[in-house]
Amino acid sequence: MSILPRETIIAGLEAARKIKEGHLPTDEDLSDAPILADWAISDNANELVRLVGWVTGHPLLDDGWITTSVLLAIDPERKWARTVSRLYRLDKPLGG
């Protein structure tokens, strides 16, 4: 697990506040977001909730299996998730 810069954490919390107020990600917001396929919500009871899955198009990571930063909001029906560090487009969840 990496340590996120303060600016990233502040930006993530600001995004979570906006989502809570009803400002959901737009299609434009999602157009550049990395895709997370075969994803699942981590079930480690000793940690905060995160997503795991196969990422493509991440600006900092090679394509492959990842564990995201802490999950702030998710809408599987609209196929997006917001973590502390970024927005993701959700493909099919693990198992279907």
Domain boundaries along the sequence of the chain:
6-90
User: Measured between alpha carbons, how far is 46 from 70 in angstroms, rounded to an integer?
Assistant: 13
pTM: 0.88
**pLDDT value at 52 more than 80:** yes
Work out the pLDDT band at 46, boundaries 50, 70, 90: confident
User: Measured between alpha carbons, how far is 29 from 2 in angstroms, rounded to an integer?
Assistant: 25
